[in-house]
Structure formats: structure tokens, C-alpha cells
Amino acid sequence: MFLCSSLEPGRDGVGDYTRRLAAELIRKGHFSIAVSLNDKYVSDKIDEFQQSESTVLQVLRLPATWEMKIRLVHVKKYIDDFNPDWLSLQFVIFGFHRKGLPFGLSNQLALLGKGRRWHIMFHELWLGMEVRSSKKHFLWGNIQRLLIKSLISSLKPAVIHTNTALYQQQISKLGFIAQNLPLFGNIPNVYNNDKELSLVQSIKTKKSINLVLFGHIHPKAPIDDFTNEVAMYGAKNGLEIILIFIGRCGSEQGKWADKWAASGMKVNILGEQPVNNVSKVLGTATMGISTTPIALIGKSGSVAAMHEHGLSVVCVPCPWQPKILKTLTIPAGILSYQKGNLESIFTGKFDTPIKNNVSIITDQFISALFNSV
């Protein structure tokens, strides 16, 4: 049984991840169901079936407006009826409390799962990890860190997973061991379009480059420098370079679109689209763009989706330097932009993206659980 905060399709990244993972387990011959414990998208209890890639998954959704003790009664009955071998907590601290301070959650969950084996996937940890964090975020994050330590101590999970080396180090400092479980994307590759050409080969055989920006754009990314270099490269090589926005990109989208258009380049704003349309756009693009910092790029479902569609991703990162991660390894398929290196990104050699699809990751998940018994 998977426990997460929300299961509103297309509105919660961790919920979408949980749905795909649970459905893939079913396709591999296991039994799984999912529960959203703090669902802000429903006003009453909903016991329903959701679909993921033609697989039907039973889910229980409990509204965030209900008192926690009422929600726990319903979850406890669901657990007892299903009698799972494992309880898998898909954890984002702000998902369980609007200020990211879910006091009492560790004891409540421990009572729910008494006598059962726990697994925790930490999708995010706490505030204040960055060297320039405000005093407020640092103190706030310290409280969150203590709550997470209490959660692990109370549940005593047999397996802990997370998705970045930074988070593994942070959990290690708490005194626990977390294994790495890479993300898969939440956009199935319905066209199965494996890109066999490298970027440099694509540019040589085409007169245009389609750059796709999928998902949230972080503020303070170096948009001015990046756009200027792209425009210069396009003019120098006689290339039309198009920037495509798809999905919920956030308030920074307008700034990027205005700067791109002001530099004489084409912008295409698609907004939210059905999954098949998103897959088609990703499958036909030249490369992707992300503004997620390198240290956190492993937690980006958008980057995972672009990789699964054969795209290398240019990281145009907002400033974010973690306090404890001394050695920063750039993952395969990620091209780190810095002022002055745009041409080398477009023309250089680089690693093929690692395509961690849902089947591969589910096998890793199953193996970790079985090996812990």
C-alpha cells in the first residue's frame, strides 16, 4: 500500500509518480493500492479507481480539511482490509502540512502500521540546505529536519530511498542509510521515439533547433546571458531556434518568452496539454531545458520525462549551492550551462541520457524490498 499526500491526476507530481509505480507493480504481478492522506483536491472521502497506462488502480482519497484522527480511522480500516506486506510512504514534507511542519505525523503513522514493514521514499527533505539560505529558512529547516529524523526513528523503515546524492548525504547525517532510486518521468513515451542521432548530428541535418522547456521555471536563472548566446549561435549558423513552453511553467514563463522574442527568436507557448500531446512535443524536440540546480536535478520528474524521450537537457540553473555537497557530479544527459559555453554545448560530445523508465525503476524498487527481508 502506497501512502502519499494527494492523488489528483496531473496536479501532484508525487501523486502521479505513485500512481505509475503502483500500476507497474500490478502489471508485474503484484497487488498494490494507494491512499492520499492529505488531499486538498477533494472535499469528502473518495474510494475510486484511477487508470495509469490502461492499468486500473484502486485508491482512497481523504480530504485535507478533515481532522487527522478521522482520516486515520479510514486509513486504518483500509490497511486492515488490504493487509499489505509493505507500507510505502511517498514523502514530501509540505504535502502533509501547508507549512511543512507535520507535528505528530510520525507517531500517527507508526500506530497505523504497527507490526508492518515500512518503506520511505523521500522526494524532498527540508528548507535551509543552500549556503545563502535566510535565517528564517535555516531555523524552519532545522525543525523539519528533526521531524524527519523522528519519522524515520518511529517507523523504523526496512528500506529508505531518495533520488539525489545530496539527499543521501543529508539522511546519512541523521544516522540512517538511504539507497538511490532514480525517478522515472510522469509522461509515458507513447510514441516510443528513440533518438539515435546526437545533437550535433541533428543540427547538421536540420535548419532549426527546437528547445523545449517543460515544467516549473525557477526564478533568477541566467535567462539574459543564455538567450543572448543562443541568438548569436543561431545567427552565426543560419539556424532558426524555437523555444517551446509546455505544461505549467509558472510566473517566470512570461519573462523568458519576452526575452526570447525580443532577441528575434520564435516562441511557442502550448500550456497544459494531454499526455499524448506532451509526449509528441518531447519526442520531436532537439533538446530540453531545465532551471533546476544540478544538485537537485535528480528530483525533477520533468527532466526524467525528457530523458525518457531521448532528449539531452541543458541545465540553465538558478543560483543554488548546497552546504554539504563538496563534489558535484553532473549526471549523464545533463549539459550544464555557464556564461560563455553555449556553443560548446551545441557542438560538443556528451553522454546519452539515461532512460530510467518505469519498468526499470520498479524492478529496482522490488529488488530493494525483497533483499531487505
Same domain, 138 and 17: yes
Is the predicted pLDDT of residue 60 greater than 90, yes or no? yes
Q: Report pLDDT digits (tens) over 290-302.
A: 999 888 888 898 9
Same domain, 258 and 117: no
3-state secondary structure of 142: helix
Chain segment 212-246, per-residue pLDDT in tens: 999 889 988 999 999 999 999 999 999 999 999 99
More confident residue, 346 or 8: 8
Expressed as residue numbers, the domain containing 171 is 2-184+359-372
CA distance 351 to 356: 15
The reply to whether 73 and 110 lie within a common domain is: yes
Same structural domain for residues 348 and 366?
no
Residue 61 belongs to a domain: yes
| pLDDT confidence band for 320 (50 / 70 / 90) | confident
221 and 254 in a single domain? The answer is yes
Which amino acid, 347? T
In sequence order, the 6+-apart residues with CB closer than 8 A to the CB of 358 are 20, 21, 24, 184, 188
| Domain total of the chain | 2
Is the domain of 175 the same as that of 296? no
State mean pLDDT over 25-45. 96
Task: Say yes or no to pLDDT of 205 above 60.
Answer: no
pLDDT at residue 243 in the model: 94
Residues 242 and 120 in one domain: no
Cα 128 to Cα 125, 136, 142, 288: the distances in Å are: 10, 8, 8, 29
Q: Which residue has the higher pLDDT, 206 or 338?
A: 338
pLDDT of residue 201: 41
Q: Are both 341 and 367 inside the same structural domain?
A: no
- What is residue 204's predicted lDDT score, i.e. its pLDDT? 42
Indicate if the pLDDT at residue 53 is higher than 90: no
Instruction: Tell me what the pLDDT averaged over the chain comes to.
Output: 90
Alpha-carbon span 162 to 182, nearest angstrom:
8
Query: With the C-alpha atoms ordered 15, 160, 93, 71, is the resulting torsion angle positive or negative?
Result: positive
pLDDT surpasses 70 at 335: yes
Shared domain for 61 and 84, answered yes or no, is yes
Q: Is 90 a member of any domain?
A: yes
- 34 pLDDT more than 90: yes
Same structural domain, 138 and 37: yes
Across residues 13-24, what is the average pLDDT? 94
Put simply, whether the predicted model's pTM sits higher than 0.75 gets the answer yes
Same domain, 339 and 364: no
Task: Kindly state whether residue 190 falls inside one of the protein's structural domains.
Answer: no
CA distances from 34 to 85, 90, 116, 272, 362 (A): 14, 10, 16, 25, 16
In a domain, 191, yes or no: no
Whether residue 14 is contained in a domain is answered as: yes
Instruction: Give me the mean pLDDT over the 3-11 stretch.
Output: 93
Q: Which cell is 216 given?
A: 516549473
179 and 262 in a single domain? The answer is no
Q: Is residue 81 over pLDDT 60?
A: yes
Question: Which whole number is the average pLDDT over 331-341?
Answer: 88
DSSP characters over 98-141: TTS--TTHHHHHHHHTTTSEEEEEES---S--BTT--HHHHHHH
Q: What's the pLDDT at 324?
A: 76
In a domain? residue 259 = yes
Residue 209 included in any domain = yes
Write phi, then psi, for 158 (nearest 5 degrees): -70, -30
pLDDT in tens, 167-200: 999 999 999 999 999 999 888 887 665 554 344 4
Q: Model confidence over 91-136: pLDDT tens digits?
A: 999 999 989 999 999 999 999 888 899 999 999 999 999 888 889 9
In 3D space, the residue among 284, 274, 336 whose CA is nearest the CA of residue 306 turns out to be 284
Query: Which CATH number belongs to the domain containing residue 39 in this structure?
Result: 3.40.50.2000
260-277 mean pLDDT: 91
In what side-by-side order are the strands of the sheet with 179-180? 46-52, 55-63, 34-39, 2-4, 86-91, 117-122, 159-162, 179-180
In a domain, 162, yes or no: yes
Q: What is the pLDDT of residue 191?
A: 67
